[in-house]
Structures are given as structure tokens and as C-alpha cells.
Amino acid sequence: MRKKKNKNILLELISKGLVLLFAIVMIFYSSEKIQNTMYPVKYEETILKYSAEYNLDPFLILAVIKVESAFNETAVSNKDARGLMQIMPTTAQWISKKLGQEEFNEADLFEPEKNIMLGTWYINYLIEKFNGNTELAIMAYNAGPTSVQNWLKEGTIDEENIVVSSIPYDETANYAKKIKDAYEMYKKIYD
């Protein structure tokens, strides 16, 4: 009886050890797959095209798309922002006019190429508006440029030393952190 009990304990230990070994192997084997699933690259050609056209880092555009819509081209926010880069229809219409495109159709925001073009143009515009400061531009992409200008004017945030905790809108503070984290992961995985 004792031999049978020892044999069962030994089989149980071997079984648990094999399960643990399998789990460890799967973690190392599939960590790249997990990373690629968590940080996908979709619409690569379009992102590269418009990133080059508007002189932007494509990893930044990937991070914005991931955080804004998780690459869901039909996403609509509770504030009516639409598409991959979650652009408000009024902002898209304004951008279209700036680009000399008088014909604007809100349905275009669900077309990945059009949405990415508008979003990358807008990010470039915001970076130029904030003197090359990408962090301020990203905050403005979320909270609007007027809010960020007011924060700078009031001294709420310091252009030279941006501290996420000093951003008055929790949503924008979280957004800025998510973009930074996603950007760093995209660089780590794909660069």
C-alpha cells in the first residue's frame, strides 16, 4: 500500500513538474506572439506612407491607433470620435478644408487610409503648433489644443519638464501615459 501511495505522489510531482515546464517553455516560446497580439501592426503601408509625408515617427502613429481604437476602423467613441485614430467629425472637416479638400463625408472617417491621413496630418499640425513638443501635441490630440495652451499659460504644466501628474485632466494624463507606454513597446518589439 505504501509503495502505491509513494508511486502516486511521484506521478503527481512529475505531472506538476511537466505542466510547469510546459508553461515556462510556452511563455518563452510565445512571448513574441503575445507581444505581437498585444501590439499589432495593421495598415503598415498606409502608416508608413503618411508618417513619411508628414515627417512623423510611424511608431507614434501605431501607438495612437492602438490607444485610440485598438485598430478598430469602425470604432465610435461616446463623444462621437470615429475610426482608427478617433477623429471628431468637426475636426476632420476642418482638416479637410486646411488640405484644400472641400468635399468631406463623415463616412470617410471609417476608411482606414483617409482616417490615418487625417490623423497623421493633425498630429503633425499639433507638433508644429507646440514648437516640436510631441508630448504637448499628444495631450492636445486628446484634450484639444486650447486646453493645453491654457495649461501652459496658467503654469499648470511646464513645457520643458512635463510631469504626467500635473496634467489637470485625468483622462489626458492617462492617455499621455498610455501613448508613451505603447510607443515604447512598439519601438522595443519592431525597431
Q: Which helix (H) or strand (E) holds 42?
A: none
Q: Inter-axis angle of helices 44-53 and 112-129, to 10 degrees? A: 30
Q: What is the DSSP string of 98-117?
A: HTT-----GGGGGSHHHHHH
Report how far residue 81's alpha carbon sits from residue 58's, in angstroms, rounded to the nearest whole number.
21
In the DSSP assignment, the letter for residue 165 is G
Q: Which of 168, 172, 117 is nearest to 139 (CA)?
A: 172
Q: How many residues does the chain have?
A: 191
Q: What angle do CA 103, 106, 112 make, to 5 degrees?
A: 100
Q: Which of 66, 96, 67, 69 is nearest to 81 (CA)?
A: 69
8 Å CB contact between 115 and 83: yes
Report how far residue 167's alpha carbon sits from residue 175's, in angstroms, rounded to the nearest whole number.
11
Q: Which residues are catalytic?
A: 68
